[in-house]
């Protein structure tokens, strides 16, 4: 099975191509504000290096949040349009889950964190089997630190941000582990593949309503 993996939920583009049970090509690059400029170009180059055609892919795994709102939309739009138009299978993975799966440490708890600014973070706490102890959410760093304090075992914090916190390890996606874990994940209708923001817009918060149907 040939799989395309895309993650643009932070300031990085993480992409990988998987063929016959292994990663054959990948791209990890910090794009910041240029995510919208270079993401597709880099993905195209990755296909060329792997000597694969877009039509030859069987499945797309896309990271659909949480993270940068704009970033999430770039990856999700590419993935759902691709899957819809070429009739490919598609499934989603949360950015925090991908981070937890990529830990290099062998500890009891895995805590992926994405900075959400103003003292808030997107985070979750998973145990060794990747079962959520604290489900993924938008919460204050303070609240997260309290939750961490009460953990009965050792832990690692996986992040690419400057968040001040102990036991940090830098996030570098382990494509093999992520893709092998998610390759058999249930496929979704591309129309129903949407971002998970974990946070309402400011306008919705102010009015106490959601614009979602």
Partner 1 sequence: MKDVYIFGIESSCDETSCSIVKNGKEEIATVISSQIDVHKNFGGVVPEIASRHHVKNITMVIDECLEKAGMTIDDMDAIAVTYGPGLIGSLLVGLEAAKTLAWIHKKPLVPVHHISGHIYANNLVEEMRFPLIALIISGGHTELVYMKDHYSFEKLGGTLDDAVGECYDKVARVIGVPYPGGPTLDRWSTEGNDTYELPVPLNDDSYNFSFSGLKSAVINLVHNEEQRGNEIRKKDLATSFQNRVIESLTKKTMKALEDKNVKNLIVAGGVAANQLIRKRFQELCEEKNIHYTVPELKYCTDNAAMIAASGYFAYQLGRTSDLTLNSKSSDTLR
The stretch among 35-43, 102-110, 126-134, 174-182 that binds partner 1 (CB under 8 A) is: 35-43
Its sign, for the CA torsion 171, 176, 180, 186, is positive
Rounded Cα–Cα distance for residues 38 and 31 (Å): 8
Q: How far is CA 14 from the centre of its chain?
A: 9
Residue 81 tokens read as 């349009």
Identify the helix (H) or strand (E) that includes residue 30.
strand 22-30
- Binding piece for partner 1, criterion CB under 8 A, among 13-21, 66-74, 99-107, 148-156: 66-74
| 153 secondary structure, DSSP code | S
Binding segment (CB under 8 A) for partner 1, from list 92-100, 126-134, 174-182, 186-194 = 186-194
Residues 6 or more apart whose CB falls under 8 angstroms from that of 175 comprise: 5, 14, 16, 18, 23, 26
Q: Does 26 bind partner 1 (CB under 8 A)?
A: no
Q: Of 55 and 150, which has the nearer Cβ to partner 1?
A: 55
Binding-site size for partner 1 (CB under 8 A) equals: 34
Among 29, 36, 137, 163, contact with partner 1 (rule: CB under 8 A) = 36
Q: Which helix (H) or strand (E) holds 15?
A: strand 12-19
Pick the piece of the chain touching partner 1 (CB under 8 A) from 77-85, 104-112, 114-122, 146-154: 77-85
For partner 1, the binding residue among 32, 54, 104, 184 (CB under 8 A) is 54
Kindly report the number of other CB atoms within 10 A of residue 19's CB atom: 16
Which of positions 80-99 make contact with partner 1 (CB under 8 A)?
A: 80-82, 84-86
User: Which spans of this chain sit near partner 1 (rule: CB under 8 A)?
Assistant: 36-41, 44, 54-55, 69-70, 73-74, 76-78, 80-82, 84-86, 190-191, 194-195, 197, 201-204, 207, 209, 211
């Amino acid at each position: 099975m040939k799989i395309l993996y895309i993650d643009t939920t932070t300031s990085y583009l993480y992409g990988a191509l998987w063929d016959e049970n292994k990663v054959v090509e990948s791209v990890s690059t910090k794009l910041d504000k240029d995510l919208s400029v270079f993401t597709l170009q880099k993905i195209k180059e990755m296909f060329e290096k792997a000597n694969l055609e877009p039509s030859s892919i069987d499945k797309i795994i896309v990271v659909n949040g949480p993270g940068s709102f704009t970033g999430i939309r770039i990856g999700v739009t590419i993935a759902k349009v691709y899957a819809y138009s070429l009739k490919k299978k598609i499934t989603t993975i949360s950015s925090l889950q991908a981070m937890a799966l990529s830990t290099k440490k062998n500890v009891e708890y895995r805590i992926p964190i994405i900075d959400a600014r103003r003292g808030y973070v997107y985070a979750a706490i998973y145990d060794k089997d990747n079962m959520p102890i604290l489900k993924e959410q938008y919460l204050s760093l303070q609240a997260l630190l309290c939750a961490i304090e009460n953990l009965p075992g050792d832990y690692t914090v996986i992040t690419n941000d400057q968040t001040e916190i102990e036991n940090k390890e830098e996030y570098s996606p382990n494509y093999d582990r992520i893709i092998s874990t998610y390759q058999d994940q249930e496929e979704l209708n591309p129309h129903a593949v949407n971002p998970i923001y974990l946070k309402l817009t400011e306008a919705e918060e102010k009015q106490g309503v959601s614009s979602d149907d």
